Amino acid sequence: MATRVDTLEPMPEPERPPTRKLTPREWVRENLFGSTLDAILTVLFALLLAWVAYRVGKFVFFDARWEVVERNITNLMVGGYPRDELWRIWAALFVLAAALGFGAGAIGVQRRREIAEGRAYPVGKGGLRRLGPLLLLVVVLLWFAQSFEALVLVVAVSAVGALFNVLGRRTPQRLERYVPLLVLAGVLVAFFVVASFGGVGWNLWGGLLLTVFLAVAAILLSFPIGVLLALGRRSTFPAVRVVCVAYIELFRGVPLIAILFMAFFMIGFFLPEGVDPPSLVTRAIIGFVLFTSAYVAEIVRGGLQSVPAGQIEAAQALGLSPFRTTRRIVLPQALRAVIPALVGQFISLYKDTSLVFIIGLTELLAIAQNITKQPDFLAQGLYVETLVFVSFVYWTGSYWMSRESQRLERRLGLGER
């Protein structure tokens, strides 16, 4: 942790070790052919990588029959969602772009001010490069969609995002604290645009839409439960502690698929007579929330442990009640420290949504499997094409998020000693 020392003289910059400028030739010699073993390894790995690149390139650009993906791109995106109502999803995308663009702009300007005032350090490169994997995904999706309409809409969505980004940079400083709330409100509005006002309930959602919805809904719902469980696990009440530990250890010791089975086969048994069991998507969300809240609890517990005991003692010395100590002193520090880990949990949740395919929900992976059984493509073994496409969609999303979370980690100065 960097501490600022106020002195009259500015601290002298520490001298950096001298850096040598290497010519390409020297660089190659040092980094690739340092010793005999190095040279052998370089040649072996060059051959291996060339072979992998050749196989992948040959498949993607020549052998693969992408028709199965091209003709089903809408299915893969939204599944059985009624096609007449697709405008709602585009409208939701506009709302999301506005909210996220605004939030990014406001946070960006806040960061820049902090850096200018010396309260923070710049971390890596910023700007559009950070969106690299997502842009790649959008380009590939548009390529498969081959639709002029979609292209225009995507450009319009990006324009709205950019516009609100500019607006976000002009947020008055005293309103900055409400920006996260505004972004959350935007996400909720986007949800209601699709689901309410005569819209389409989530039981009809599918494809990537369902994948993202399951992940977001599960993390939002499990966050408060997880925080409560973590607090309960550190409670001074033995009874509360035992119950929380039992819950956490039970759901962490069991595979997710067993919990999804429980949610699917057993919830009907749990309900009293006359109560209709919830729909399949709702059951999946319940299963994910049961599972994820146990993991969130363990993450938050780590954050709680990282708050120095002196903070709590100071709060007690000031006469704060236990509730206010937790609410005003402990939780803000603890939650700030665990943001990267929570993003990590969200990434694995995003990937784990693929498991509902086993239960029979039509999320991205299920659609990818089902379209290979369409009459036109039946028994042609197009699994590889669809699986590669699905892997690409998952990969871009979770690679982008993991890069952002590493960035956040560096920014918060965590993991630095």
Residue 99, burial from CB neighbour count under 10 angstroms (0-12, 13-18, 19+):
buried
Rounded CA separation 286/375 (Å): 35
Rounded CA separation 233/410 (Å): 29
DSSP line for 326-371: IIIIIHHHHHHHHHHHHHHHHHHHHHHGGGHHHHT--BHHHHHHHH
First to last CA, the chain: 7
In the chain, the amino acid numbered 5 is: V
Asked if 41 interacts with other proteins (CB under 8 A), we say: yes
CB 2, min distance to other proteins, A: 20
Helix, strand, coil: what percent of the chain each, to 5? 75, 0, 25
Strand partners, 322: none
Q: Identify residues 212-271 at the interface with other proteins (CB under 8 A).
A: 237-240, 243, 250, 252-258, 261-262, 265-266, 268-271
Binding other proteins (rule: CB under 8 A), the pick from 22, 49, 151, 185 is 49
| Smaller CB separation from other proteins, 90 or 395 | 395
Closest CA to 140 of 224, 64, 48: 64
Asked if 402 interacts with other proteins (CB under 8 A), we say: yes
Binding other proteins (rule: CB under 8 A), the pick from 355, 361, 367, 371 is 355
Can you count the helices (H) and strands (E) in the chain?
19, 0
| Smaller CB separation from other proteins, 204 or 290 | 290
Binding other proteins (rule: CB under 8 A), the pick from 147, 316, 380, 391 is 391
Asked if 280 interacts with other proteins (CB under 8 A), we say: no
Residues 309-348 as x/- pattern, contact with other proteins by CB under 8 A:
--------------------------------------x-
CB 297, min distance to other proteins, A: 15
Binding other proteins (rule: CB under 8 A), the pick from 282, 354, 370, 406 is 354
Binding other proteins (rule: CB under 8 A), the pick from 234, 395, 406, 407 is 395
| Stretch near other proteins under the rule CB under 8 A, chosen from 154-162, 176-184, 197-205, 383-391 | 383-391
Size of the chain in residues: 417
Which position has the token pair 């560096």?
Answer: 410
Q: Are 338 and 303 in contact, with CB atoms under 8 Å apart?
A: yes
Residues that bind other proteins (CB under 8 A): 31-32, 34, 38, 41-42, 45-46, 48-49, 237-240, 243, 250, 252-258, 261-262, 265-266, 268-273, 347, 351-352, 354-355, 357-358, 365, 369, 381, 383-384, 387, 390-391, 394-395, 398-399, 402
